[in-house]
Amino acid sequence: MIRFNNDYHHGAHPQILEALTNTNTEDYCGYGLDPWCEKAVAEIKKYLDCPNAAIHFFVGATQANFTIISAALRPYQSVISAQSGHINVHETGAVEHCGHKIHALPSPDGKLTAAQIAAEAELYRTSGVQEHITKPKLVYLSYPTEYGTLYSKQELEDISAVCKEYDLYLFVDGARLGYGLGSPQSDLTLSDLARLTDAFYCGGTKCGALFGEAAVLTNPALQTDFRSYMKQNGAILAKGWLLGLQFYTLFKDGLYFDITRQADLYALQIKQAFTEKDIPAFIESFTNQQFVVLENQQAEKLAQHYIFEFDHQIDDTHSCVRFCTSWSTKQQEIDALLADIRAL
C-alpha cells in the first residue's frame, strides 16, 4: 500500500537524520539555549527582513497554536477563525480549553476575507454590550488552508489592514507553510508574512523534520515573557537542540523550500490526472493537498493499492477524498497512482 493520506507518515529527511547522528555524542545546555537553536534562528531570520523578530521552537503545531493564542489574549478575549480552521475542528477544543471562544466564520474554500473579519469586529464594536460578551482580539488563518487553498499577497494585505484598523492580532498557522510558499500559485514570501502578521510559524513536522515548528513573533507586544508562557504550557523541550539542529538543517541551504516545492509538483500531477479523467475537484488546490469527488466504486478501486483520506460524503454514490503528497513522496509512487487513475 502506498500512503497519500497525510504529509507526516515518514520520519525525517535523511540530511536531518545525518545531522542528528553526527551530533549524538556531543553535549549541550538545555531548554533551547544552545548553539544549534541560535544558528537556526539566524538562518530563518535571513528570509524575514525583520531583525527584531523573536523565534521559538515548539514540538508540535497544536501546542504552538494554543500557546501563542493564550499568550496573546486576555481572559475575556476571543479568536476569529474560518469554520474549517484547524483550531476549530481538529484540536479537541485546545483553544477553548485555554478559556478563549472561537468565532467560526463560514469558509467554503477554507479562507477568511477582510470583509468577514471587519464585519465580525464591527458587531462587537457596535453591540452596546461589550462588557457582557467576548471581545475578538486575534485573527487565525492557515496558510495554506485546511483545503489546500492559498491567500494571495493582496488578500493578506487587505486582512492585515483590517486587523490594524480594529486592533486585532493576525496569526498564521504555518504547519504546511512550505507547501504554501512552494506552490506555483503563491506570490507570498516569508518576508511578506513577517511584515503583514503579528505571529506565524514555519511548520517542520509536515515539512521534513522529525518533529517541530518554528514560531516567529514579529510584534514586540507578543514577545514579552513568551518563554514563560511556553514553559507553563509544557512547550519548552529540555533537549531543545534537537529542534534547533533540525531547523538549521532545513533552512541553511534552502532544503525546506526544495522538498516542499517538489511535493507540490507531485500533487499537481495527480490533479492533472483526475482532470483528464473528468473527475471533479471538490475545491481548486495548487498545493500538496488535492480534494476530489470520486464515485464510490472509484474510491474502492483506488483503495486496493493506496491509503488516502475520506473527507465527507457528497451523496449516496459520491465521496470527497483527499490525496496528500509530502516531502518524502517518490516519483515512482506518483507514477503508479497516475496509471491507476487513468485506468478508472
Q: What pLDDT was estimated at residue 336?
A: 98
Question: Is-above-0.85 flag for pTM?
Answer: yes
Q: What pLDDT was estimated at residue 128?
A: 94
**Summary mean pLDDT of the chain:** 97
Percent of the chain with pLDDT over 70: 100
**What mean pLDDT do residues 58-85 have?**
98
List the chain domain ranges.
Answer: 2-7+256-342, 14-254
- Each residue's pLDDT tens digit, 97-113: 999 999 999 999 999 99
CATH, domain range 2-7+256-342:
3.90.1150.10
**What mean pLDDT do residues 24-51 have?**
96
Q: What pLDDT was estimated at residue 296?
A: 95
**What mean pLDDT do residues 197-224 have?**
98
- Is residue 227 within 8 A of residue 56, CB to CB? The reply is yes
- Each residue's pLDDT tens digit, 237-276: 999 999 999 999 999 999 999 999 999 999 999 999 999 9
What distances in angstroms separate CA 129 from CA 123, 132, 139, one per listed residue?
10, 5, 21
**CA-CA distance, 344 to 339, in Å (whole number)?**
9
Q: What pLDDT was estimated at residue 82?
A: 98
Backbone angles phi, psi at 221, to 5 degrees: -65, -25
**What mean pLDDT do residues 219-226 have?**
98
Q: How many Cα atoms occupy the beta-carbon half-sphere of 333 within 13 Å?
A: 18
**CA-CA distance, 156 to 47, in Å (whole number)?**
18
User: What is the domain class of 14-254 according to CATH?
Assistant: alpha beta
Q: How confident is the model at residue 154 (pLDDT cuts 50, 70, 90)?
A: very high
**CA-CA distance, 116 to 293, in Å (whole number)?**
28
